[in-house]
Amino acid sequence: MATRQRESSITSCCSTSSCDADDEGVRGTCEDASLCKRFAVSIGYWHDPYIQHFVRLSKERKAPEINRGYFARVHGVSQLIKAFLRKTECHCQIVNLGAGMDTTFWRLKDEDLLPSKYFEVDFPMIVTRKLHSIKCKPPLSSPILELHSEDTLQMDGHILDSKRYAVIGADLRDLSELEEKLKKCNMNTQLPTLLIAECVLVYMTPEQSANLLKWAANSFETAMFINYEQVNMGDRFGQIMIENLRRRQCDLAGVETCKSLESQKERLLSNGWETASAVDMMELYNRLPRTEVSRIESLEFLDEMELLEQLMRHYCLCWATKGGNELGLKEITY
């Protein structure tokens, strides 16, 4: 009964947002990714009872290679997150950059693996939509309220701050604003910190992404950075991907850094990170537990394995560490 009473304690203030029209194509990729994840979950690729509260189920069936690609992405990122949480014994914080409709906070809570605090950052327009869903849907709001010690939880159109979870509307290219808003929500630079960016840096210019990576490395004494995005983009398949996105008014401004696994690692090492590792998603897929591979491959028929391999060779999972020798952060691998 107490939980039900506290659900009504979320209050909202309306505010307007003005977003750069140039970023509309990038914001659209959030919707695309959410729809793909929702579809893959609906046919059993992985369990996520929360995604349904953020995005409708598309009537359009997604291709099997797309679904397997998203499975590998979600599995790979999740494994690295959990490795970091185990090394720090959850005495840490997570900052998810460009989080979109991500549900990791709720899934970690279900597994009793929450860090000291979990932060999400995205464009104000996307944050407004996410906060509306949280406010209106008890399966999303109740877990936040259960962990919150105050009687009321204030949020406006661009920010929610609670004891263990915060959502912030900010532009990742404006680092002073980003830092100010994170600190206002009690980000602790002394805590071991995991930063996550999934298909985020590639939409920034190389200079902008380098500045973000430097800021992250300089802001925390002990940190890890996970980056998931394109790789091997210099070949014909990569060019087709670029052209297709450009037709949708979405420019891969940072694609020159996505030439190879080596260029991905070099960007991290040249911007303040001490170690860097990278695997393409086909290599990651081949390392998946065979029982899981058998399970997901039985969900739907894939006509040509070459399609999956071609797609997976053009995405990668990278991770970098700084400090944390006593925690064994450098030992984290996939």
Query: Which residues are annotated binding-site positions for S-adenosyl-L-methionine?
Result: 73, 98, 171-172, 198
Rg (CA), the chain: 19
44 close to 67: Cβ distance less than 8 angstroms: no
Summarize the chain as % helix, strand, coil (round to 5): 50, 15, 35
Burial of 145 (0-12, 13-18, 19+ CB in 10 A): buried
Give the helix/strand (H/E) hosting 142.
Answer: helix 138-146
Judge contact between 213 and 268, C-beta under 8 A.
yes
Q: How many residues are given for the chain?
A: 334
Annotated binding site: 73, 98, 171-172, 198
DSSP bridge partners of 168: 121, 159
Do residues 140 and 134 lie in contact, with contact meaning Cβ atoms separated by under 8 Å? yes
Helix axes 206-219, 261-269, angle to 10 degrees: 50
Number of C-beta neighbours around residue 325 at 10 A: 11
